[in-house]
Structure 1
Amino acid sequence: MPHNFHNNQDRIAVFTRFLVTLVCLIAYEMLKIVIYACVIFQYAYLLIAGKNSEPLKLFCNKLSMYIYRILRYATLNENRRPFPFGSLPTDKECEKSADTIHFP
């Protein structure tokens, strides 16, 4: 539903959300680098150890949910502010990881 601006408080609220969104998008850009590093490490570990790093897999699953929340907030699809303005995603909020990874 479209929002009608009736007073300056509404405009201030929009501007505040915009500033929070900018901070979140800066965090998103930094987290993309973290994800790239995790992917490279996970594949290197897989090639060397013959298995994936379960702690890294769980961390990346939680990080993926956090990035998803940032994008939903930034695109005005969610009102809950992402961390550091709100809480981090809990394990219950994250999708369950695949039990077995398949390679073609």
Structure 2
Amino acid sequence: MNSSHTNAERQSLIMRAIWMLIFFFVWQIAEVVLLVVVVAQLVMRALNGKVNESLRGFGDSLSQYVAQIGRFATFNTDRKPWPMSDWPLPRPADIETPPPAASDVPKEPQA
């Protein structure tokens, strides 16, 4: 019985390795697509003064997808990325807050 359990684990690991190889190639394609999105956003920002919201959302989803591939490949999760699971939804853009003004920074007590 122990032999069959070891054999099942080995087959499972072989299947995971095949999936990892497939997702490695998908990762390579996704990187190129992400580069195109980055360059397109840069050009649109330079020409129009604002980013394209559709591309922003797609870029965020694609970034999350690449992260999912990395998490699967590094054994941080057993959940396979898209198309075996749902495509990641874009998150709202980060809202950056300005750094505190010098007058807002608490002063250290003098000894």
Structures share fold, TM-score greater than 0.5: yes
Equivalent residue number for residue 74 of structure 1: 73
1:20: Cα distance to partner? Answer: 0.5
1:90: Cα distance to partner? Answer: 3.2
Equivalent residue number for residue 37 of structure 2: 38
1:98: Cα distance to partner? Answer: 2.0
Equivalent residue number for residue 22 of structure 2: 23
Moved over 4 A (4+): none
Superposed, 1:1-104 pairs within 5 Å as 6-91=5-90, 94=91, 96-99=92-95
Separation of aligned partners in 1, 2:54 and 2:95: 14
TM-score with structure 1 setting the length: 0.82
SS of the residue 2:41 aligns to: helix
Which residue identity is paired with 2:58?
F
Which residue identity is paired with 1:80?
R
1:18-65 Cα distance to aligned partner (Å, 9 max, x none) = 101111111001110001111111010111111111110011011111
Kindly report the root-mean-square deviation, in angstroms, between the aligned alpha carbons of the 2 structures. 1.9
TM-score with structure 2 setting the length: 0.77
1:86: Cα distance to partner? Answer: 2.2
1:83: Cα distance to partner? Answer: 1.0
Please list every run of 5 or more consecutive structure 2 residues that lacks an aligned counterpart in the other structure. 99-111
Number of residue pairs the alignment of both structures matches: 94
